[in-house]
Amino acid sequence: MDLSSYVYNQHKQGQQGGVRHTCTFQPLNGNSSNKCGMKCKLIDWVVGTDIVAEGEIAIDDPLHVVEGAPIGVGSYMVWVQTSIDHNALIWRTQVNMRTIEQALGELIQWPKQHVCWYLTLEENDGKSV
């Protein structure tokens, strides 16, 4: 099983698996910022106005390590579920993955300021957003 599949399974099942669960970040002010599982839209980080993909937050833990460094407080790890602008560049390129189209179905890092939320009434306990 590759790392993406492992993280996805841990996220979906909510299991600890002997390691720190990735969706437990609590900021110092005590307010929960747990966004794991929330549907989101990714805004083009170059232009800053166009929606380039839709996905789901997989990891919001700033201490989660990717390629030897923590993702930090400024980004999320996101499952790309729908590609809207196939040629849009991903924020942190990886081997054989540079565009949103190539990232479809994959876990990628994306800057928080370029993530927007959408909630259905059901997801928001019947309250409008």
Please name each of the domains of the chain with its CATH number: 34-121+125-129 (2.30.30)
More confident: 56 or 31: 56
Residue 59 amino acid letter: I
CA 39, 79, 35, 128: dihedral to nearest 10 degrees?
-10
Query: pLDDT tens digits for 21-44?
Result: 333 333 333 334 578 888 999 999
Give 98 or 30, the one with higher predicted confidence: 98
Predicted confidence band of residue 101 (pLDDT cuts 50, 70, 90): very high
Q: Return the pLDDT at 94.
A: 81
Which pLDDT value is given to residue 47?
86
* Percent of all residues in the chain with a pLDDT value above 70, rounded to a whole number: 66
pLDDT at 103: 96
pLDDT of residue 119: 63
CA gap 6, 26 in Å, rounded: 23
CA distance 124 to 46: 31
**How far is CA 11 from its chain centroid?**
12
Taking only the tens place, the pLDDT of each residue in 4-13 is 555 455 445 4
Give the pTM.
0.68
